[in-house]
Structure 1
Amino acid sequence: MRLILSIGGGVLALVILVLAFLAWTPAPPRVDEAAIRAAAAEYSARIIRDSLGVPHIYGERDADVAFGLAWAHAEDDWETIEPTLIAARGELARYDGQAAAPTDYIVQLLRIRETVAARYETELTAEARAIVEAYADGMNAWALENRGRVRSGVLPMTGQDVVAGFVLRTPFMYGLDADIGELFEDERQRTISIGETETAFHLIDGPNPELGSNAYAIAPSRSDDGATRLIVNSHQPFTGPVAWYEIGLHSAEGWNAGGATFPGAPLVLHGHNENLGWAHTVNAPDLADIYVLEINPDNENQYRLDGEWVDFETGTAALRVRLFGPFSWVFNRELLWSAHGPVIRQPHGTYAIRFSGHDEVRGVEQWYRMNRASSWEEWRAAMEMRAITSLNTVYADRDGNIAYLYNARMPVRAEGYDWREYLPGDRSDLIWTEYQPFDALPLLLNPASGFVTNANNTPFRATDPADDLRREDFSATFGIEHEMTNRGQRLLNLLINDPSISGAEALEYKFDLSYAPDSPVVRLVSQLLAMDLDEDRLLIEAQDVLRAWDFSTNIENRSAALGVLTAIKCIENRHDTRPFTCEPEEALRASAEDLMAHHGLLDPEWGEVNRHVRGEVDLPVDGGPDILRAIYCGCQELNEDGQFVGVAGDTYIMAVEWDANGHLESRSIHQFGSATLDETSPHYADQADDFVAMELRDFPWMQSEVLDGATRDYVVGRR
């Protein structure tokens, strides 16, 4: 018996050793440090950090500027840039474990790496490749000097990695992740998080933080002084891979741009140059289609198409998933593709997905051309590429032109189908292969009203009604949204009723704090006030609080806490006359109990509840959900401290102006500061006070302005 136990113990130990050997994560290839240093020696960039630590990059060539931008951004936000890079490679689960495996699977299912590799050399110009490769070289050079902050196996970063990051993130902006997610869950949709850094590109239950935005432009004819004005106000998560980072870029080759970018992006995504500017908001065109496939009962790897059984293209997703410590395991999962596109096989059916941009890698090039455009004609030519697959865009320039474009890479689809529903997968004539021309898109250029605006609302309400585009002029196959938002309605009300808009007024409207009279919030409160609540003392007192509400969200307001807390339980962000998502009476009761439990009263000042928190900074903040001064907490209940802490909404704000003589001035503010994750930096939260006070600072454009009060001035590269 003792011998048997001894042998059994030896076998068990051997099995454990074999499993440990198999599960040991293999070491990555050795980094060629000499090659990284040699590449860095080809560049020279001067980085001047202004009085708020914002980097302004100067170089002889555009490539030098891209190299310097990468270095500066890595200094401030490497811990966000790094997982963005890894996610685009489809390798995030190797580092972050099971929660990141769905993203790796999607990267392989959508063939992101293969698409980039096949099209990188042939579809991107040499100029665009030079920018993304310089950016990659800058990241590598910085990482080599800071190896302690870099995960094993990440280096070297390549230009294709940069492009793959664009290809992965862009479809998320129009909701492809939700389309894919609904196929995996019968009852509860799951999405890929692009919110907080710690959950970036991880599978999460429920929606991401709000991705909204406000943008508007005022023509000289509508200004009080003949100026052209542009308000840039994207609503994003406060941190993570789609959080804004402010930059200034200046090249002797003529690339001059200021504004904001995302981690992993080598240029300004929205902002301005000396001649023109633009702002994006998220739109919701129908750019993804789901087909229900009929499977051969005798061969599960065949589907019916045009009356014949056709073989799936098959593959295997090898997902290396970190277990603990140095141990990981490779899980193999089925990959299928049909003539339509990627295929997902589930117990309730087999589905194929076809989405706009599945064959597109030039998004970064289009933004680069927008950065460098010097006129409406050049900027429009960049937009005609349609390589950016979605996003509303508001435009203004020094010549007084303004425009609103409902930008989307629209498929050419057969009429007569509701393309937002599932489609029959057995007909090849429903597999679209072409895109609509640029001229087919909703575009409003220089309307007589003198202003254009969008706040994630329908494009058919973008200016004075007399100048608006008409819905009937555009195909129903575009799937253009019909809804308004409170922000959209308030902006229209304010701009329509002001025939002569000053710079101060343009900014004042951006910080408006009210819900519109025809908003769902007002409709909800009106319904609650009309209820007979059967002598329920708590609810009757709650009615009294709501009755006193003027529907503002200023920090002193004593009804906003109860009103907003009730409204976010019943109303989605995109709304018009949709039914409430829960019973109003139940929402009011839950909100009243929540306030009583944490504050002991139903009417605390809104500023006691609504907070802007950054490290040790904890400030009351005006605004709220779907307010032009947008603040989202990503929750429906108060936290343990009885607060809503903002996690998304108003982030980077920029006000751009060309006066009647064409002179440029711009002002900006960031919700925190340029040091995105470095809590020890003086720029970690140095803009928070002004952000809460709704005050913008002058954005330094000329080098002399940048040097005035500069906190640091240094050169990177060796050329």
Structure 2
Amino acid sequence: MTEPQAPEAAKPTGRFTLYLVRGIIVLMGLFVLVSVGMALLTRAGGPTQDQLHAMLAAADKYDVRIKRDTYGVPHIFGPRDADVAFGLGFAHSEDDFTTIQETALTSRGQLAAVTGKHGAVTDYIARLLQVRETVDAGYDKLPADVRQVVEAYADGVNYYAALHTAQAAPGMLPLTGKDVVAGFVFKTPFFYGLDGTLAKLNAPVDGPNKKLPVGSNGIAIAPSRSADGATRLLVNSHQPYTGVVAWYEAVLDSGEGWHVAGGFFPGSPFMLHGHNAHLGWANTVNKPDLIDVYRLTLNPADPNQYRLDGQWKAFQVTDAALKVKVFGPITITVHKPVLRSDFGPVMKTARGAFAIRYAGMGEVRQVEQYYRLDKARDLAEWRAAMGLQALPSINYIYAD
């Protein structure tokens, strides 16, 4: 029996072939456009060639030598404070550029553009606390020597990043002195519990506190209490091993008298605790009552007004405009209002509308106080630095 034959396939006509070729060309063109578009998106937010050149050329302003000891701790030497600050920015970037970058993006309110929705909360808090506005208002009022050091540290980070551009997130570069100051403005109130207050206002109900008690400790022993007549200082702050508040150990030795050894945070050019050539200190933190929360009465006819002194007053309203990473280099902009009252920033939650006022609002001199502590030569100079009162809630244990 003869098997049935399949019908012969129709041969393409000349017109069909033309359409096919045109279709292939269109698809190839679309592929090229998509590829170029994705490449442009990947480079979006990166430094320009002029910026890269400036970041590399800035190194010529500094005279610095970096030596690492057996444990990898950088010992940084230079004739000026600015020189060693530049060297610290570079050495710390060698060891942990990722966390320095995270610190900068967090204080800018730009973390979500790199990490996705998980960074949106901190981005919103940075806008709520007006970190950038605070720095913009106070930066030029800082002493010139303080600004010189924070800018030199930023130059050191930028120099490293310019040599390793693939490690830098879009929009990260260049780092500025204002970014360094903003890191202190953002972090300081969280050491006495502002993060817990914000979380409590947003929690649906009060739950049991399941956290184990934690804390830091420091011990100073005077010569009169030591068998060998030596002064001893124990620094034990219980910080995490990683993250934006993990200690980084370094030694700075400047010809201008800045000679310290101890702990630095990512993004900080200043030793936060340890010792210099004359004295030292340890820090602990606790939660004194430095935060006031006000429940606001809203106008039933206009929820954008609150009662103040028997009258309705409108909130100051701005748009957070949070950029959130979705996929690859693609981001979306999420618009969320930021409210402010005469009392301070405002959060509207399921519990109501609350204004928050906390110690250190509008303060940018944290960097100045740390710098003066670092360079204090005796108890009188150290107490004068403490007199700036720019670091609320931190306890100090002193020894010399």
Q: Give the SS at the match of 1:44.
A: coil
Give the drift of 1:206. Answer: 8.1
The amino acid of 1:306's aligned partner reads D
Residue 245 of structure 1 is matched in structure 2 by 248
Residue 135 of structure 1 is matched in structure 2 by 153
1:314 aligns with 2:332: no
Tell me if structure 1 keeps the 8 A contact 2:369–2:388. yes
Residue 27 of structure 1 is matched in structure 2 by 44
Residue 235 of structure 2 is matched in structure 1 by 232
1:37 aligns with 2:56: yes
Structure 2 unmatched ranges of 5 or more: 1-33
Q: Give the SS at the match of 1:266.
A: coil
The alpha-carbon distance between structure 1 residues 292 and 26, as it changes in their structure 2 partners (threshold 3 A), is farther
The amino acid of 1:81's aligned partner reads I
User: How far apart, in 1, do the equivalents of 2:368 and 2:152 lie?
Assistant: 14
The amino acid of 1:169's aligned partner reads K
Tell me if structure 1 keeps the 8 A contact 2:104–2:267. yes
User: How far apart, in 2, do the equivalents of 1:86 and 1:347 lie?
Assistant: 29
Equivalent of 2:307 in 298, 301, 304: 304
Tell me if structure 1 keeps the 8 A contact 2:204–2:350. no
User: How far apart, in 1, do the equivalents of 2:218 and 2:343 lie?
Assistant: 36
Tell me if structure 1 keeps the 8 A contact 2:46–2:173. no
Equivalent residues in 2 for 1:147-158 (5 A)?
147-158=165-176
The amino acid of 1:290's aligned partner reads V
Q: Give the SS at the match of 1:226.
A: coil
Matched residues, number:
361
Equivalent residues in 2 for 1:518-529 (5 A)?
none
Q: Give the SS at the match of 2:104.
A: helix
Q: Give the SS at the match of 1:275.
A: coil
User: How far apart, in 2, do the equivalents of 1:71 and 1:39 lie?
Assistant: 12
The amino acid of 1:278's aligned partner reads W
Residue 678 of structure 1 is matched in structure 2 by none
Give the drift of 1:188. Answer: 6.4
Residue 8 of structure 2 is matched in structure 1 by none
| RMSD, aligned CA | 2.1
User: How far apart, in 1, do the equivalents of 2:206 and 2:118 lie?
Assistant: 17
1:75 aligns with 2:94: yes
Give the drift of 1:264. Answer: 0.6
Equivalent residues in 2 for 1:558-707 (5 A)?
none
Q: Deviations over 1:530-556 (max 9, x none)?
A: xxxxxxxxxxxxxxxxxxxxxxxxxxx
Give the drift of 1:274. Answer: 1.2
User: How far apart, in 1, do the equivalents of 2:42 and 2:71 lie?
Assistant: 42
The amino acid of 2:215's aligned partner reads G
The amino acid of 1:139's aligned partner reads V
Q: Deviations over 1:102-149 (max 9, x none)?
A: 100010111000100110001x11010001000000000011111122
User: How far apart, in 1, do the equivalents of 2:226 and 2:351 lie?
Assistant: 58
Give the drift of 1:211. Answer: 5.9
Equivalent residues in 2 for 1:23-102 (5 A)?
27-28=44-45, 30-31=47-48, 32-102=51-121
The amino acid of 2:44's aligned partner reads A
User: How far apart, in 2, do the equivalents of 1:27 and 1:259 lie?
Assistant: 38
Tell me if structure 2 keeps the 8 A contact 1:215–1:233. yes
Residue 137 of structure 2 is matched in structure 1 by 118
User: How far apart, in 1, do the equivalents of 2:304 and 2:223 lie?
Assistant: 62
User: How far apart, in 2, do the equivalents of 1:66 and 1:171 lie?
Assistant: 25
Structure 1 unmatched ranges of 5 or more: 1-16, 190-204, 398-719
Equivalent of 1:357 in 360, 364, 377: 360
Give the drift of 1:25. Answer: 8.3
User: How far apart, in 2, do the equivalents of 1:358 and 1:340 lie?
Assistant: 11
User: How far apart, in 1, do the equivalents of 2:213 and 2:182 lie?
Assistant: 24
1:162 aligns with 2:180: yes
The amino acid of 2:68's aligned partner reads R
Equivalent residues in 2 for 1:527-542 (5 A)?
none
The alpha-carbon distance between structure 1 residues 130 and 322, as it changes in their structure 2 partners (threshold 3 A), is same
TM-score, length-normalised on structure 1? 0.49
User: How far apart, in 2, do the equivalents of 1:296 and 1:340 lie?
Assistant: 17
Q: Give the SS at the match of 2:321.
A: strand
User: How far apart, in 2, do the equivalents of 1:37 and 1:79 lie?
Assistant: 20
Residue 268 of structure 1 is matched in structure 2 by 271
User: How far apart, in 2, do the equivalents of 1:206 and 1:61 lie?
Assistant: 49
Residue 374 of structure 1 is matched in structure 2 by 377
Q: Deviations over 1:305-348 (max 9, x none)?
A: 11111111111110011111122110100111100000011232
Q: Percent identity?
A: 53
More helix by share: 2
The amino acid of 2:265's aligned partner reads F
The amino acid of 1:54's aligned partner reads V
Q: Which runs of 4+ in 1 moved over 3 A?
A: none
User: How far apart, in 2, do the equivalents of 1:210 and 1:56 lie?
Assistant: 36
User: How far apart, in 2, do the equivalents of 1:258 and 1:390 lie?
Assistant: 23
Tell me if structure 2 keeps the 8 A contact 1:273–1:371. yes
TM-score, length-normalised on structure 2? 0.87
1:259 aligns with 2:238: no
1:214 aligns with 2:212: no
Give the drift of 1:38. Answer: 2.6
Residue 26 of structure 2 is matched in structure 1 by none
Q: Give the SS at the match of 1:360.
A: coil
Give the drift of 1:37. Answer: 2.1
Residue 560 of structure 1 is matched in structure 2 by none
Q: Give the SS at the match of 1:279.
A: strand
Give the drift of 1:184. Answer: 1.1
User: How far apart, in 2, do the equivalents of 1:353 and 1:316 lie?
Assistant: 19
The alpha-carbon distance between structure 1 residues 57 and 375, as it changes in their structure 2 partners (threshold 3 A), is same
Equivalent of 2:333 in 319, 330, 334: 330
Q: Give the SS at the match of 2:93.
A: helix
User: How far apart, in 1, do the equivalents of 2:233 and 2:71 lie?
Assistant: 23
User: How far apart, in 1, do the equivalents of 2:362 and 2:166 lie?
Assistant: 37
- When Rg is computed on C-alpha atoms for both structures, the one with the higher figure is 2
Q: Deviations over 1:200-252 (max 9, x none)?
A: xxxxx986x97621101111222212222211111011111111111100000
Tell me if structure 2 keeps the 8 A contact 1:174–1:282. yes
User: How far apart, in 2, do the equivalents of 1:206 and 1:72 lie?
Assistant: 39
The amino acid of 2:183's aligned partner reads G
Tell me if structure 1 keeps the 8 A contact 2:43–2:170. no
Give the drift of 1:173. Answer: 0.8
The alpha-carbon distance between structure 1 residues 175 and 107, as it changes in their structure 2 partners (threshold 3 A), is same
User: How far apart, in 2, do the equivalents of 1:28 and 1:306 lie?
Assistant: 46
Tell me if structure 2 keeps the 8 A contact 1:211–1:282. no
User: How far apart, in 1, do the equivalents of 2:63 and 2:147 lie?
Assistant: 18
Q: Deviations over 1:48-86 (max 9, x none)?
A: 101111100000100000000011111111111111111
1:388 aligns with 2:391: yes
The amino acid of 1:256's aligned partner reads H
